[in-house]
Every structure is written in structure tokens, then in C-alpha cells.
Amino acid sequence: MANTTESHPNKTIAIVGGGLGGALCACFFAKHGINVHLFELRPDIRNQKVVKGRSINMALSRRGRDALAYINCEDVIVRNGIPMRARMLHDLKCHTAAVPYGTKPEHEIISIDRRILNELLLDEACKYPEIKIHFQHKFVSWNPENKIATFQNKSSENVDFEVDALIGYDGCHSAVRAAMMKTDSINFSQEFVESHYMEFCIPPKNGEFAMEKNYLHIWPRHDFMLIALPNQDKSFTTTLFLPLNIFQTLTTTDELLAFFQKYFPDAISFMGQEYLIETFFSSKPLPLVSIKCSPHVSTNGDILLMGDAAHSMVPFYAQGMNSAFEDALVLFDKLKQNNFQFSTAFFDYNKTRIHDVHAIVDLSMYNYREMSHLVTQTSFYWRKKVDNCLYRLIPNWWVPLYTMVTFTRIPYKQCLALRQRQDQILKLFRLTGYAVAGLYLLQKLSTFVINPLTKASIVQNILPRFAANK
């Protein structure tokens, strides 16, 4: 049995979605003695040989770890993952180069299998007597007057549950959000990105990892990329992100092999040609969607959207799960401030959280450009060197964007604002440097005998162009 803190036994919450965020949030409520009905559409994955759905590995960082620590299960989760301390970039000639995530030993990300993590969180939820898990229950409706949530069980029978409030942690295709949108004024937007994804596996080689294990391996190719994350069984979960129109051109074995030989030659040797061919032609490219909605709370304050139901993002900042976990931390800060009055806390949470999660949705889109293209540019390395140098010298004043997002709890919107301020500062220094260089050049020009018209042309045309190009 898990430990609880202060008790609120007269309160009951319904959480729709027994995935990562929903299972974690249930434990948060149970820790405070609040009764929880946790509903999941699928059967219990702990009893399934094969689980359908997304399987891109999860990358656990500071925000997610703090949420796990809140319910005292951080250590067991981390032990089931593998630390990644840097990106390992693979070029077209099969050369590799490591780019550390940060400047400190603790700046590492934990790679963990989605299913393993979900099973561990469900096991944790089962330790609390306050939590009742209902598998194969589909959300049907919410009656705000009587506070009754209706679900359809596996026998297609409708079952009613009387609860104080309802939380939708049920993913990007949220049934709870859809129900809210029928009665409340909800701003909603979704964007499908051009890239789709397909998953492969790099198996162990002679019982060991085929590549260095403590890295996120990336094959950046400007408009597309391949990534690989390590697993406990010494394999790598490998994902190809590729525009759909390119996927559609690879219709034969020869076309597929020629494409991989050109862009990912070492990956073929790691996966094996037969496996690559079989997996590619038996799989379907899957879409990536980015979702925002506002508000996250219902007009009556009795429904709250969290996780992907409120803010689904592309996986390129590895913050989808971490932000969903941090949602629970932010919510419980508000619950404590409001003496666990659900509606008041839900409204306060909405005011605090909505701008932050919209910021990380936008940052995740930006980071795809960084991972697939910018990491191949010299300017990326120079900026990273400048950021890291200033971070070492003045850590309380200058923190790199990636470090802020991944290794701190600084609110996402503030991370974005601080990065914009850093850009302005560096631009000011750059322009100041150009001005000094221009004055120096003019001084040198004045020491030579030059036709006045030529000198005027240099001042009016060449110098401004030089500054503009920089």
C-alpha cells in the first residue's frame, strides 16, 4: 500500500485515460486520500502480448522526473531506462560526432519503453486502495447537473459513476474534449506536419549494443531524419521521420535500398537488409499532429483537460510526456493553494498552464528543424559554444534554451521569452562588433590615397551590405 498525505475521503474524481499521464495523475489524487475512478478504453496492457498504438520511446527529463518523485517512484522508473548524455550525429560517410545535451553530469535524458513505463505506472496505481481502475470502458457523456459520468463497458452496457469532477487525460483524439466542445466555447486547432513516421529496430550485435548506448543517435538529413534510442534489452528503437510524398516514392525493394544506401548507409548494416525490407513494406507511415485548445477547463469548472487532450505536440523536443506529467504538478500546486476546491483550482490551473503548454507545442515544431537541419550547420555549433560558455560564466543570468526546457522547471513560456532576450543581446553585440569593424576599416581607408568617389561608394554600398548579410 502506498503512503498518503492529508486525506480528503469525501471527494471522488474520474480520470478518463489510463495511459502515462492518467495513471500518474490518479496516483497524485490517491496520495492525498481522494478517491479515483480511472477509466481506460483498452484492455489491461499488462495482460497483452502485443499492444497496438504508438511505440516511439519515451525520453524522461527533469519535469517528468519531478512528477514521478512526487509519488515516490522516480527511482524505479529510472532503473528501467537508459541514460542518454548527448546526441550522436551520423553523417553520410558514416562518421559520428557527439553533441552533449548540457554542461553538467546530471544533464542526461532517460530513454524508456512506452509500454514498460505505462505498466510500471499502472502497478503503482494499484498500490493505492483509493484507486479503482476500469479497463475497456468508453467515455459516453457527462451530466454537469447531477455530476454523473457515463461509460460504456465491454458488454456495451452504459454504467454511471457519480463523481465530483472529471479529468480528460485521454489523448489527442480526446472524447472528453469532444464532449466539452459540444456545450462550451472551445478554441481548437490541429496541425498535421508534413513528416510521417515509421518505426524499426536495431537489434543487439553479439549480445551487445550495436552502437554506443548512452546516446540519442540521429541521422539528420535536412528535410528528414532517422533517430535511435537505446533499450534495456540492448536493442535500439529506431524511427524514420520522412515527408509522406517521399514515403510514397519508395515502392520497390530497389528504391528503398537505394534510398537508405544514399542517406543512411550505416543504419542498413545495423538493421540488416532483409529486416529493413520486410518491416518497411509491412508497415504504414503514421501521421504527426500538433494540437492546441483553449480553455482547458469547462464553463462550470467541473471538467479539466490535461496532457495530449489539451496540448498534443510533435515528439521533437521530447516534452509530450514530460509536459503531461508536469501538468499534474502544476494542478496540485493549485489544489493545495485552494484547499482542494476542484473548480477554483481548475480555473487557476487554466490561467497558469495554458500559455506555457502552447509555448512548448510551438517549441516542439521548431526543434524538428534543429534536429533534422540546424545540427548540420556550423552556426548551430557556434551558438551552442557561446551559450555553454556564458552558462558556465554566468549560470544565474544565461541558461541555454535546451537546458531550460529539458533540465529545469522554468515555465515554458518564460523559457521562450528568455531565449528571445538572449537572441536580442547577441544581435546587439554582433551589430556593435560590425560597427567597430566598420569604423576600423574607414580609419584604414583614410590612410590611403583613394578617389573620393570610390571611398564614398564603399561607405554607402559595401559596408551596409556587409552588415545586412551578417
- In this predicted model, what pLDDT tens digit does every residue of 160-188 receive, in sequence order? 999 999 999 999 999 999 999 999 999 99
Cα separation, 377 vs 412, in Å, equals 26
More confident residue, 436 or 170: 170
**Nearest Cα to 356, choosing from 280, 410, 278, 288?**
410
Q: What percent of the chain has pLDDT above 70?
A: 87
Strand, helix or coil for residue 198? strand
More confident residue, 222 or 112: 112
Average pLDDT of span 415-434: 84
Reported confidence tier of residue 463, pLDDT bands at 50, 70, 90: very low
Reported confidence tier of residue 470, pLDDT bands at 50, 70, 90: very low
Reported confidence tier of residue 5, pLDDT bands at 50, 70, 90: low
pLDDT per residue over 99-117, tens digit each? 898 888 889 999 999 999 9
How many other CB atoms are there within 10 angstroms of residue 101's CB atom? 20
Would the CA dihedral through 45, 49, 55, 60 be positive or negative? positive
pLDDT at 289 over 70: yes
Residues in the chain: 470
pLDDT per residue over 390-411, tens digit each? 898 999 899 999 999 999 999 9
User: Angle at which helices 412-445 and 342-372 pack, to 10 degrees?
Assistant: 40
Reported confidence tier of residue 430, pLDDT bands at 50, 70, 90: confident
Strand, helix or coil for residue 199? strand
Place of cell 551552442: 384
Print the SS3 string covering 123-169: HHHHCCCCEEEEECCEEEEEECCCCEEEEECCCCCEEEEECCEEEEC
Q: What is the gyration radius of the CA atoms in the chain, in angstroms? A: 26
Query: What is the pLDDT, as a whole number, of residue 295?
Result: 98
Mean per-residue pLDDT of the chain: 90
Query: What is the pLDDT, as a whole number, of residue 428?
Result: 85
Cα separation, 303 vs 16, in Å, equals 11
Q: What percent of the chain has pLDDT above 90?
A: 76
Options 3.40.640.10, 3.40.50.880, 3.50.50.60, 3.40.50.12780; which CATH number does 12-47+54-368 get? 3.50.50.60
Query: What is the pLDDT, as a whole number, of residue 421?
Result: 92
Cα separation, 295 vs 35, in Å, equals 26
Cα maximum dimension of the chain: 96
Query: What is the pLDDT, as a whole number, of residue 102?
Result: 82
Query: What is the pLDDT, as a whole number, of residue 218?
Result: 95
Reported confidence tier of residue 426, pLDDT bands at 50, 70, 90: confident
Query: What is the pLDDT, as a whole number, of residue 458?
Result: 42
Query: What is the pLDDT, as a whole number, of residue 441?
Result: 55
Cα separation, 230 vs 60, in Å, equals 13
Query: Which residue(s) pair with 293 in the sheet?
Result: 188
Query: What is the pLDDT, as a whole number, of residue 279?
Result: 97
More confident residue, 130 or 441: 130
Query: What is the pLDDT, as a whole number, of residue 52?
Result: 59
Average pLDDT of span 285-299: 96
Q: For residue 274, with 0-12 CB atoms within 10 Å meaning exposed, 13-18 middle and 19 or more buried, which class applies?
A: exposed
Cα separation, 108 vs 218, in Å, equals 16
Domain assignments of the chain as residue spans, ordered by start: 12-47+54-368
HSE on the CB side for 447, CA within 13 Å? Answer: 5
Please list, in sequence order, all residues whose beta carbon lies within 8 angstroms of the beta carbon of residue 155, skipping any fewer than 6 positions away.
none
Reported confidence tier of residue 130, pLDDT bands at 50, 70, 90: very high
